[in-house]
């Protein structure tokens, strides 16, 4: 039995196979419409979500399976003090696979250790969000044809942003990747990430002004400043509108640069940018369904 805790749990070769399957599902969904007949996915979300939970549920329903779960810790017995270890032992008897989001780093890993069914980390605190990374990589591959030899700008909250941490870790395994980290001082990418890049001779630079680096980028990965990760409201208010991508900044970018965002967006991308053909974030959210369908099939060892 296999779980997914980190984007590094799959080799690059395994990711290729997963993305081939996701692309096959996108092209021919009818072929997979009954692949999970009789199977049940549990979504155990202790933290809010729209895309991750609903795309997992959509994925299982589109595969012919069924779903159950909770979308809020307060409506589960966590509110009475039940541990994730006890919860997953019980869920193991109710479902065949579980996607879990939790505000505490490592909680899905604790669950996996006690689980009889595959557990997927659907986001744990500021740590990892591996299925978002699978979504991001599939989007890059589908829209550009490959994942190598790109300059990727990551902008916004690089300190607390789990999508950013997971994506960087996954991308370092592809040749020719160069990173540009764009953030205010207070939200710089953590040292453990830059230490890992230095150790692997991966080129990167850290800047504050987005305008200065726009012309270099092949992808711009925007992120939200996350109110829920701040310890005080004053810091959040000071930093929340530090970056706003608008049409004037898009004019500085390459004609084929693509803008990604894990979403939800607050103010960091002006809605006028949505009409720019380089805005790929809503397509990206759709790729999340295909890759989660492929992941469910892979972890349940179902071949079609
Ligand atoms: N990208 C993402 O994780 O979105 P949700 O928080 O809505 O699941």
Cα 184 to middle of ligand 1, angstroms: 23
Of all protein residues, the one whose alpha carbon is nearest to atom 3 of ligand 1 is 52
DSSP 188: P
Structure tokens at 204: 């990167």
Beta bridge partners of 190: none
Q: How far apart are CA 128 and CA 282, in angstroms?
A: 21
Question: Distance, CA 269 to ligand 1 centroid (Å)?
Answer: 16
- What is the CA angle 206-212-218, rounded to 5? 80
User: What's the CATH number for 131-285?
Assistant: 3.40.50.1370
- List, by residue range, all CATH 3.40.50.1370 domains of the chain: 7-129+288-299, 131-285
Q: Does the N-terminal peptide bond of residue 264 adopt cis geometry, omega within 30 degrees of 0?
A: yes
pLDDT at residue 48 greater than cutoff 70: yes
Q: For ligand 1, atom 5, which residue shows the shortest CA distance?
A: 49
CA distance 132 to 128: 9
CA–CA separation, 66 vs 92, rounded Å?
15
Q: Which fold has domain 7-129+288-299?
A: Rossmann fold (3.40.50)
**C-beta 55 within 6 A of ligand 1:** no
Catalytic positions are: 51-52, 80, 101, 129
pTM of the model: 0.95
Q: How far apart are CA 142 and CA 280, in angstroms?
A: 11
Residue 43: CB within 6 Å of ligand 1?
Answer: no
**pLDDT bracket for residue 162 (50, 70, 90):** confident
Quote the ligand 1 centre to 55 CA distance (angstroms). Answer: 9
Instruction: Tell me the C-alpha to C-alpha distance, in Å, between residue 269 and each of 165, 221, 249, 260.
Output: 20, 11, 11, 10
**Cross-strand partners of 167:** none
Model pLDDT for residues 196-236, shown as the tens digit of each residue: 999 999 999 999 999 999 999 999 999 988 777 666 888 77
Ligand 1 pocket, residue 71 CB under 6 Å: no
Query: Is 6's C-beta closer than 6 angstroms to any atom of ligand 1?
Result: no
Pocket test residue of 263, 268, 284 for ligand 1, highest count of atoms within 8 A of CB = 263
Distance 69 CA to ligand 1 centre (A): 17
Q: Which atom of ligand 1 is nearest to the CA of 122?
A: 3
User: Which pair of tokens denotes residue 259?
Assistant: 């803008």
Condensed to tens digits (0 to 9), the pLDDT of residues 225-249 reads 877 766 688 877 877 888 999 999 9
pLDDT tens string 2-32: 999 998 999 999 999 999 999 999 999 999 9
């Amino acid at each position: 039995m296999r779980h997914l805790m980190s984007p590094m749990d799959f080799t690059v070769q395994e990711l290729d196979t997963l993305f081939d399957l996701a692309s096959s599902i996108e092209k021919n969904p009818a072929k997979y419409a009954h692949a999970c007949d009789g199977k049940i996915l549990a979504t155990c979300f202790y933290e809010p979500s729209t895309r991750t939970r609903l795309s997992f549920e959509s994925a299982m329903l589109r595969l012919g399976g069924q779903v159950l779960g909770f979308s809020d810790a307060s409506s589960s017995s966590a509110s009475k003090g039940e541990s994730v270890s006890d919860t997953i032992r019980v869920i193991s008897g109710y479902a065949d696979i579980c996607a879990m989001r939790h505000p505490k780093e490592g909680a899905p890993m604790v669950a996996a250790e006690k689980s009889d069914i595959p557990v997927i980390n659907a986001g744990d605190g500021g740590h990892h969000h591996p299925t978002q990374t699978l979504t991001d990589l599939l989007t890059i591959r589908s829209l550009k044809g490959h994942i190598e030899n790109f300059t990727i700008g990551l902008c916004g909250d690089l300190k607390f942003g789990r999508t950013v941490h997971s994506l960087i870790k996954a991308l370092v395994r592809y040749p020719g990747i160069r990173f540009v980290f764009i953030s205010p001082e207070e939200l710089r990418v953590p040292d453990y990430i830059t230490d890992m890049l230095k150790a692997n001779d991966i080129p990167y630079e850290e800047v504050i002004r987005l305008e200065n680096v726009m012309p270099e980028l092949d992808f711009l990965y925007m992120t939200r400043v996350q109110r829920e990760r701040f310890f005080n409201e004053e810091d959040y208010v000071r930093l929340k509108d530090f970056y706003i991508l608008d049409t004037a900044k898009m004019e500085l970018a390459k004609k084929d640069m693509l803008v990604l965002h894990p979403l939800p967006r607050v103010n960091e991308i002006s809605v006028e940018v949505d009409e720019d053909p380089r805005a790929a974030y809503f397509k990206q959210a759709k790729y999340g369904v295909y890759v989660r369908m492929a992941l469910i099939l892979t972890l349940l060892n179902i071949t079609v």
